[in-house]
Amino acid sequence: MDHTKIKTLGELKASGYSPRPVKQELRENLIQKIKNKENVFKGIWGYEETVIPDLERAILSMHDINLLGLRGQAKTRLARLMALLLDEYVPVVEGSELNDDPLRPLSRYSKDLIKEKGDDTPITWMHRDERYTEKLATPDVSIADLIGDVDPIKAATLKLPYSDERVIHFGLIPRSHRGIFVINELPDLQARIQVALFNILQEGDIQIRGFKVRLPLDLQFVFTANPEDYTNRGSIVTPLKDRIDSQIITHYPEDLEVARKITEQEAFIKEAQKEKIQVVNIAKDLIEQIAFEARDSEYVDAKSGVSARLTISAYENLMSAAERRSLRNDENTFVRISDFYGVVPSITGKVELVYEGEQEGPGIVAHNLVGKAIRTQFVNYFPDPERLRKEKTGNNPYNKIIEWFGDSNMLDILHDFGNKEYKETLTSVPGLAELVDKYHSKSEKETKLFLMEFALHGLAEYSMLSKHSLSKGLQFKDLLSSMFTMPGADDEEGYEDDI
């Protein structure tokens, strides 16, 4: 039966409709989803065995919930997905401020209307999307915003004395009756405002300017909080924490595969980019490795966290770096290692440094993170240079490359090289193509070229070559000679900082 065709209270009663509290509604719909083996939290990766089971247990227990975790851990996304567990439509008294259930009216308006019209009381149907309310906690949020205040204009318009409860303008929380109410960054809410939530959470009482209005609000509360806030800006007052039934701790992806799924799902890659640019899987792993390196870096504040938004923005910038080159050369192309220096602006604004303003500035730290990511991933594709150093065997696969640079040769890889120039430059290094063929003979030609440049960067990270930033690209040369030579005034490409 299509309940939305029901237009009056009498028709609703005749249909056999039975109201249920929102937490009961969430619980029963979740039970049905679990029985049907449906995934409620689609698009959430890495939480299958940790956060999601905790969240489902909290919903089954009909608890108010606090999601505690660093930034970029999908806390708000989880809260929004909970709305999918609500019934698609529920009936409300038409014109009601508080989404009144026709069979359980809450407001004075609805009670008076039902008393006047009885079974002819008009009803409308509210979609689940309208039953989700989200508020970001900021220091300027007031009790009037959340709970309500006396409205003098309403009093004057309706010619009511201030003693009449109809002069109250209800805030966001009462207006979210029969739905999910989310407060993001709860510790940022002033302590006195947090205190105002006590009775709402437990008893349903609210008091506005001397009105003690008994409103048994039917709400599912979800809070989000960052543990950094507990010390830096604010805290959750203890009595409020005590009234939040379940606190669920979120976390960052624990492996590259999960991190890649998140980035590929969330990054906005344009159709034109997909058509013109190829991305090898190694490049995708390197993007994720940057975030893993940042989370372990001594220069990055671990308490602040490194959001998944870093890798999403970095991936978008990586594609745009390749697209820019593609447009300048009017040819399709593929992502290169040198494109990774185009992701630096995506990193600098998303990491909080331990010593802000010190010698290790955000730009230098970002370059170092890219380098560390290359170093970490290098040994997954080529022999470990450090192990070879210790073994001191004569069959070092890098010898031919190192010797060529040792003969005072150097190599410039410019950002805007066309495909032909890029290939010719890399293949001009003796032993580089042989190295890639030895360990990746079955790879496609684009992947092999990517690996050839990757090898140069990796050897530089392991101090077997030197790498310098030019104004238009990168230069590789022998490590020893670079220690004794400085760029001259006649150099065609001016040096910037070493990377």
Proportion of the chain above pLDDT 70, given as a percent:
87
What is the tens place of the pLDDT at every residue in 226-248? 886 554 556 888 888 888 999 99
DSSP designation for 120: G
Give the mean model confidence (pLDDT) for residues 248-277: 94
Answer with the residue of higher pLDDT: 483 or 351.
Answer: 351
Q: Same domain for 230 and 258? A: no
pTM of the model: 0.85
Residues contacting 359, CB < 8 A, separation 6+: none
Q: Provide DSSP, 124-172.
A: EEEEGGGGEEEEE--TT--HHHHTEEE-HHHHHHHT--TTSGGGEEE-H
Which pLDDT does position 343 carry in this prediction? Answer: 92
Give the mean model confidence (pLDDT) for residues 349-355: 81
Confidence of residue 212 (pLDDT cuts 50, 70, 90): low
Instruction: Give the span between the Cα atoms of 88 and 126, in whole angstroms.
Output: 8
Q: Provide DSSP, 258-304.
A: HHHHHHHHH----HHHHHHEE--HHHHHHHHHHHHHHHH-TTB-TTT
- Of the candidates 280, 347, 270, 254, the one whose C-alpha atom is nearest the C-alpha of residue 45 is 254
Which pLDDT does position 492 carry in this prediction? Answer: 42
Q: Same domain for 320 and 331? A: yes
Which of 353, 378, 403 is at the close of a domain?
A: 378
Mean pLDDT lowest among 226-240, 281-295, 371-385, 459-473: 226-240
Q: What is the dihedral of CA 319, 324, 328, 329, to 10 degrees?
A: -10
Answer with the residue of higher pLDDT: 337 or 302.
Answer: 337
Q: Residue 76 domain-assigned?
A: yes
Confidence of residue 37 (pLDDT cuts 50, 70, 90): very high
Name 413's bridge partners: 474
What is the tens place of the pLDDT at every residue in 61-70? 999 999 999 9
SS3 50: coil
pLDDT reading at 275 higher than 50: yes
Q: Same domain for 311 and 326? A: yes
Which pLDDT does position 499 carry in this prediction? Answer: 44
Give the mean model confidence (pLDDT) for residues 424-432: 95
pLDDT reading at 362 higher than 90: no
Asked whether the beta carbons of 473 and 413 are under 8 A apart, the reply is yes
Domain that holds residue 226: 3-139+178-184+219-249
Neighbours of 305 (CB within 10 A): 23
Confidence of residue 145 (pLDDT cuts 50, 70, 90): confident
pLDDT reading at 491 higher than 80: no
Which pLDDT does position 242 carry in this prediction? Answer: 86
Q: Same domain for 310 and 445? A: no
Which pLDDT does position 79 carry in this prediction? Answer: 96
pLDDT reading at 77 higher than 70: yes
Asked whether the beta carbons of 149 and 208 are under 8 A apart, the reply is yes
Structure tokens belonging to residue 383? 């022999």
Q: Same domain for 273 and 343? A: yes
What is the tens place of the pLDDT at every residue in 125-140? 999 999 999 999 888 8
Instruction: Give the span between the Cα atoms of 380 and 397, in whole angstroms.
Output: 15
pLDDT reading at 497 higher than 50: no
Which pLDDT does position 23 carry in this prediction? Answer: 96
Mean pLDDT lowest among 87-96, 228-237, 324-333, 453-462: 228-237
Instruction: Give the span between the Cα atoms of 325 and 24, in whole angstroms.
Output: 56
Q: How many domains does the chain have?
A: 3
Which of 346, 378, 410 is at the close of a domain?
A: 378
pLDDT reading at 156 higher than 70: no
Which pLDDT does position 239 carry in this prediction? Answer: 84
Q: Residue 433 domain-assigned?
A: yes
Instruction: Give the span between the Cα atoms of 282 and 278, in whole angstroms.
Output: 12
Which pLDDT does position 394 carry in this prediction? Answer: 67
Which pLDDT does position 2 carry in this prediction? Answer: 63
pLDDT reading at 493 higher than 50: no
Q: Same domain for 111 and 224? A: yes
SS3 46: coil
Instruction: Give the span between the Cα atoms of 327 and 418, in whole angstroms.
Output: 10
Q: Same domain for 439 and 361? A: no
Which of 341, 363, 378 is at the close of a domain?
A: 378
**CA dihedral sign of residues 366, 371, 374, 379:** negative
Confidence of residue 155 (pLDDT cuts 50, 70, 90): low
Average pLDDT, the chain: 87
Asked whether the beta carbons of 248 and 64 are under 8 A apart, the reply is no
Instruction: Give the span between the Cα atoms of 347 and 352, in whole angstroms.
Output: 10
Q: Residue 266 domain-assigned?
A: yes
Confidence of residue 3 (pLDDT cuts 50, 70, 90): low
Q: Residue 304 domain-assigned?
A: yes
SS3 332: coil
Q: Residue 126 domain-assigned?
A: yes
Which pLDDT does position 143 carry in this prediction? Answer: 82
SS3 222: strand
Give the mean model confidence (pLDDT) for residues 402-426: 94
- The residue whose two tokens read 């001191």 is 392
Give the mean model confidence (pLDDT) for residues 474-490: 66
Confidence of residue 146 (pLDDT cuts 50, 70, 90): confident
The strand pair at 65-68 and 89-93 is best described as unpaired
Q: Same domain for 106 and 245? A: yes
